[in-house]
């Protein structure tokens, strides 16, 4: 069996370059779990299935609105997050790409991210006696699901239109993307002045929203959510409530406002800046470069 250093090179080389913050720090732990599981007959897809079940069990603990169950839930959710890294490391070690593993991994992200937030609504309801918290948590959970889909939507469009070309018979998307990529628009002096005046207003809004974006992305990290849940659980245990509400309720309310608002703003900016088109162009260039490299 390879040692830990060799395993890091085999299983984490690319991830250590792309992961950031607490997720990157957690890679220091996950490799030891991977090393242990490699001594067994368990495979990546089985780890992902256990990962999903553990995440669901951890999420359901927050329904009881009791600090002991909260701590158990946080522990189970952390195990789920840890296994989310381990299953990929096991698959990379054996160098056997599994579509079942990728499928289960996507299911895990679509379920385990929003479920804890919705389960927190039961505690918030008993705290506020208002059904609005269920509505807010529902929209928050929906925003988390849509945010995950939004990350993959450019690839889905590219595969469907450029590769499969279903329902795209009038023009070739590859030619269209290449023409759009190489096209340079010429602006008149009048339109240029309008763009400059508009850009000044955009700078102000971007300055305000940039900090909100950074906070929201940090706030939505898996490990960050667990740390926040641990903090509010401890605060509810030892500190008096703030304005009659538990800190857990304040966490849910703030999360339920920030996440949907950030998602809506992201969709608007993606539409205005034609981000999907740009990503499809990048995918087209990467695909052609891959084929050229393999032919040579």
Share of the chain above pLDDT 70, in %: 74
Domains and CATH numbers, the chain: 1-112 (1.20.120.1760), 130-296 (no CATH)
CA dist list (Å): 203 to 41, 200, 207, 209: 56, 5, 6, 10
Question: pLDDT band at residue 3, thresholds of 50, 70 and 90?
Answer: confident
185 backbone dihedrals φ, ψ, rounded to 5°: -85, 145
pLDDT per position as a tens digit, 84-131: 989 888 888 888 767 888 888 889 989 998 999 899 999 999 889 999
Please state, in angstroms and as integers, the Cα–Cα distance from residue 182 to each residue in 168, 176, 216, 278, following that order: 21, 10, 35, 12
- Taking only the tens place, the pLDDT of each residue in 122-159 is 999 988 999 999 999 999 999 989 988 888 888 887 77
Compute the half-sphere exposure of residue 55: CA atoms within 13 Å on the CB side of its CA. 26
pLDDT at site 223: 79
Its pTM stands at: 0.80
Three-class SS of residue 213?
helix
pLDDT above 80 (res 174): no
Q: What is the pLDDT of residue 187?
A: 46
Report how far apart, in Å, the C-alpha atoms of 54 and of each of 65, 108, 242 are.
Answer: 19, 10, 32
- Interval 15-69: pLDDT, tens: 766 666 667 778 888 889 999 999 888 888 889 999 999 999 999 999 998 999 9
The mean pLDDT of 78-84, rounded to a whole number, is 92
What CA–CA distance (Å, rounded) separates 115 from 60?
8
Provide the mean pLDDT of the chain. Answer: 80
Torsion sign, CA atoms 30, 32, 36, 38: positive
The pLDDT assigned to 206 comes to 64
Residue 95 region, left (φ>0) first, then alpha (ψ -120 to 50), else beta? left
């Amino acid at each position: 069996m390879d040692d830990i250093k060799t395993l890091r090179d085999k299983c984490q080389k690319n991830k250590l370059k792309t992961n950031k913050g607490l997720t990157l720090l957690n890679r220091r732990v996950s490799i030891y779990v991977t090393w242990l599981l490699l001594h067994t007959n368990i495979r990546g897809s089985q780890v992902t299935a256990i990962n999903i079940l553990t995440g669901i069990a951890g999420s359901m603990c927050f329904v009881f609105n009791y600090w002991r169950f909260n701590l158990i839930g946080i522990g189970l959710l952390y195990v789920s997050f840890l296994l989310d890294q381990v299953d990929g490391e096991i698959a990379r070690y054996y160098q056997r790409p599994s579509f079942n593993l990728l499928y289960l991994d996507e299911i895990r992200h679509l379920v385990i991210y929003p479920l804890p937030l919705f389960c927190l609504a039961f505690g918030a309801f008993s705290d506020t006696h208002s059904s609005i918290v269920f509505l807010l948590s529902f929209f928050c959970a929906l925003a988390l699901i849509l945010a995950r889909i939004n990350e993959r939507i450019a690839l889905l469009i590219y595969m469907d239109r450029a590769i499969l070309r279903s329902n795209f018979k009038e023009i070739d998307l590859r030619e269209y993307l290449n023409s759009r990529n190489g096209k340079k628009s010429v602006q008149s002096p009048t339109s240029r002045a309008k763009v400059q005046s508009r850009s000044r207003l955009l700078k102000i809004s971007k300055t305000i929203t940039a900090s909100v974006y950074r906070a929201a992305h940090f706030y939505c990290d898996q490990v960050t959510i667990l740390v926040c849940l641990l903090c509010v659980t401890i605060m509810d245990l030892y500190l008096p409530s703030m304005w009659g509400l538990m800190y857990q309720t304040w966490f849910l309310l703030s999360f339920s406002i920030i996440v949907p608002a950030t998602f809506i703003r992201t969709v608007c900016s993606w539409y205005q800046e034609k981000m999907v088109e740009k990503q499809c162009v990048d995918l087209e260039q990467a695909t052609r470069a891959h084929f050229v490299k393999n032919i040579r």
